[in-house]
Amino acid sequence: MIRLENILTPGRSLVNVPGGSKKRVLEQIASLVARDLSDLDNQDIYESLIAREKLGSTGFGNGIAIPHCRLAGCSAPISALLRLDTAVDFDAIDGAPVDLLFVLLVPEAATDAHLELLRQIASMLDRQDVRERLRQAPTSDALYQVVVDIQNGQ
């Protein structure tokens, strides 16, 4: 099983990210990942995330979105976690604006292991105590540490 802390880094865990709009947030995600992983193209990431959103919103409910997509040139799963300074409309299933985004990018030839990662993320974020801990994390490092602690049963 792939563990979330192995695909998420402290540098891709950010608090107080300016929101604005769903499009702007997806642009910021693409920039963040491309800046961290130079072999991936910012525009390719953005277009893949937008294409996935056109299939149906990744707004999960309870202020959570899990933007995800398959990505050419991606050799292993990559994740990012953003807490927005102001919630944005993400066309979530419950209509609530989104302030927590857990991003998952997987290789184009996604496998059952990648679906399991998506299930892990959704299951973790379905817990109210986890959402509260993520929303209360004072720093980006603390935000990352919440995920590590949850994965370790703390």
Identify the residue whose tokens are 């990018």. 105
Which CA distances in Å does 42 have to 27, 39, 145, 154?
A: 8, 10, 26, 35
Burial class for 57, CB neighbours closer than 10 Å (0-12, 13-18, 19+): middle
Kindly name the residue from 13, 19, 29, 68 that is annotated as catalytic.
68
Phi-psi region of 141 (alpha: psi -120 to 50; beta: other; left: phi over 0): alpha
Q: Is 114 a catalytic residue?
A: no
Give the residue numbers marked as catalytic. Answer: 68
